[in-house]
């Protein structure tokens, strides 16, 4: 991808210029810092087990599985939105928002809105049948944010997973 054609510049009254662009491989160390910040916020820092190498390979290797937009202020990445394609047999190809992160000191300055709006535009441009994500039931700021978009926040589904260790023991 050509960085220049994917660059979006927005003037925001609270912090000056915010640059929203596609993530590049050299952003990965900073993105991992933000992942760790999110894990602390979500009270689960021990749950982050992905290595930087794996993160880079899965985003920028021969078969990338994720894409991300980053938000920069004064050349520093202060947030990102990472997504991948999810397929629903009921709905078709959908954007799955894995993480939307803005550093604590930059929250409340509409940077999350700029990232989310860019995701919505990407979903439309790529012809996805919708966008899905999860939000913790106690994360009221995030729930309030998504409600501003008229999001359907559903109850009743339980998360299920198997760890790498469980897979290896099968």
Catalytic residues: 146
Residue among 85, 69, 80 at smallest CA distance from 22: 69
Residues 6+ apart with CB under 8 A from 55: 28, 31, 32
Euclidean distance between CA atoms 100 and 38, whole angstroms: 9
Residue among 142, 84, 80 at smallest CA distance from 115: 80
Residue with tokens 């394609």: 85
Specify the pairing of strand 67-73 against strand 16-22.
antiparallel
Contact 131, 97 (CB under 8 A): yes
């Amino acid at each position: 991808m050509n960085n220049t054609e994917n660059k979006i510049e927005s003037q925001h009254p609270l912090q000056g210029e915010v640059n929203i662009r596609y993530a590049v491989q050299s952003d990965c160390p900073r993105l991992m810092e933000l992942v760790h910040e999110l894990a602390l916020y979500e009270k689960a820092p021990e749950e982050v087990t992905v290595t930087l190498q794996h993160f880079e390979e899965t985003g920028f290797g021969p078969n990338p599985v994720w894409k991300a937009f980053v938000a920069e202020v004064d050349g520093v990445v202060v947030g990102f939105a990472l997504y991948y394609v999810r397929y629903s047999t009921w709905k078709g190809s959908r954007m799955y928002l894995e993480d939307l992160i803005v550093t604590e000191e930059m929250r409340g300055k509409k940077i999350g809105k700029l990232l989310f709006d860019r995701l919505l535009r990407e979903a439309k441009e790529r012809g996805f049948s919708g966008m899905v994500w999860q939000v913790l039931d106690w994360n009221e700021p995030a729930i309030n944010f998504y409600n501003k978009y008229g999001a359907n926040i559903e109850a009743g589904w339980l998360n299920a997973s198997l760890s790498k260790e469980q897979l290896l023991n099968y």
